[in-house]
Amino acid sequence: MHNLILVPSLFCPANCQYCFGPDKDTASMDINTIEYALDLALRLIEERNDSSRRIRIIFHGGEPLSAGISFFKQALPQIARRFQDSIVEFSLQSNLWLLTEGMCQLFAEYGVGLGVSLDGPEEITDVQRCKGYFQKTMNAINMARRHDIPTACLATFTRYSAKHMNKVYDFFVQEGLDFNFHQAVALLNKEKEDLWSLHPEEYGELLVNLFERYIEQPPGIKIDTLDSLCQSVAAGRGCICTFSDCLGDFFAIAPDGGIYPCQRFIAQEDSISGNGFCLGNVHDCLDIFDLKSHPFWQQLKQRQDVITDDDCSNCTYLSLCRGGCVYNTLSMGNKSPKDPYCPAYKRIYGHIIDRAMSEVFSEENLSLAVKEGGGLIKKGRLLELMRQ
């Protein structure tokens, strides 16, 4: 699967406390830049000679809806036309404040799934994002629901909301909203003090506690982050970008056509690599060899190799984790190339594997195996999630 992340605007009308985005420019991506970005994506697919021809197009920000309905009226049909021989999956990550009825009709027509940035109930969301955020976003979620647009939330856990994990969990269950979650991302630019990111041990604790609630009693909603972890264990490889060799599977395009290995690096001050994070510009008609020759690409590639051959080579979970996210490594100033959240990843993967083994060898499964023969019968909530 190829992932093309289009960032139509870096502007965002919200003012979240822990935001790592630049929010410094109101310019939107123009029609030419979209065309050149699609040219690049098609060239990359050809060069990889991938017969599946599946592509995921993710609109991200800043706040992508800041580009206005005119951007999406141009971009969506243009993408559908250029990728008519491929299977295209559209999604958009947004706070939805700027959503309109017209946008809903367009998103429903093109099957654009919405990922909504929301951290839980009002008293939590408004403290760590900004005042009034919750109500604006919930109003828009209800508008999207009236149009039957698939909607799932993305909750950011911080040092504050992790203390209220059960309130966050109960809120999404009561609202019938599926959700993903991640920890607040540290800033590459250290001008602001980082008051929000969880320590790796705290994040490990949170992962295990959320997982236990999810496993003990099916909540009637999906928590994709946890499902993916279970499926990763079953597949023997990481099923989300954090746990894969992401380099080359993701390309993010900034409003001016700048090409980045991930949207997290867009418009960030580069005081770390010394090479700049931007690999080139779509207007220059680059191919994969041009991108691979950029010093930042080489730095990322070298990290990937060192992880496999050296830093993580003896880790039991290497195939499931692949050293974690390079953005975390850079933003948290880790001396080692592995993601500083390593202890959290070890904790949750170890926990899932132990839990799966205890389900396989549960009394119920053992007595059924004795009664009915035919080996162990694999019954259990976790084993079901792993099989999905």
Among 90, 133, 172, 317, indicate the residue that binds ligand SF4 (CB under 6 A). Answer: 317
Three-state SS letters, the chain:
CEEEEECCECCCCCCCCCCCCCCCCCCECCHHHHHHHHHHHHHHHHHHCCCCCEEEEEECCCCHHHHHHHHHHHHHHHHHHHCCCCEEEEEEEECCCCCCHHHHHHHHHHCEEEEEECCCCHHHHHHHCCCCHHHHHHHHHHHHHHCCCCEEEEEEECCCHHHHHHHHHHHHHHHCCCEEEEECCCCCCCCCCCCCCCCHHHHHHHHHHHHHHHHHCCCCCCEHHHHHHHHHHHHCCCCCHHHCCCECCEEEECCCCEEECCHHHCCCCCCCCCCCCCCEEHHHCCCHHHHHCCHHHHHHHHHHHHHHHHHCCCCCCHHHHCCCCHHHHHHCCCCCCCCCCHHHHHHHHHHHHHHHHHHHCCHHHHHHHHHHCCCCCCCCHHHHHHHC
264 touching ligand SF4, by CB under 6 A? yes
352 touching ligand SF4, by CB under 6 A? no
Among 69, 241, 306, 369, indicate the residue that binds ligand SF4 (CB under 6 A). Answer: 241
88 touching ligand SF4, by CB under 6 A? no
Q: How far is the CB of 30 from ligand SF4 (least distance, A)?
A: 25
323 touching ligand SF4, by CB under 6 A? yes
315 touching ligand SF4, by CB under 6 A? yes
Give the residue with the Cβ less far from ligand SF4, 28 or 263: 263
279 touching ligand SF4, by CB under 6 A? no
Q: How far is the CB of 83 from ligand SF4 (least distance, A)?
A: 21
Among 57, 230, 321, 356, indicate the residue that binds ligand SF4 (CB under 6 A). Answer: 321
327 touching ligand SF4, by CB under 6 A? yes
Q: How far is the CB of 92 from ligand SF4 (least distance, A)?
A: 17
Among 338, 352, 355, 380, indicate the residue that binds ligand SF4 (CB under 6 A). Answer: 338
Q: How far is the CB of 313 from ligand SF4 (least distance, A)?
A: 9
Q: How far is the CB of 370 from ligand SF4 (least distance, A)?
A: 37
Q: How far is the CB of 168 from ligand SF4 (least distance, A)?
A: 22
Residues engaged in binding ligand SF4 (CB under 6 A) = 241-242, 246, 250, 262, 264, 312, 315, 317-318, 321, 323-327, 338-339, 342, 345-346
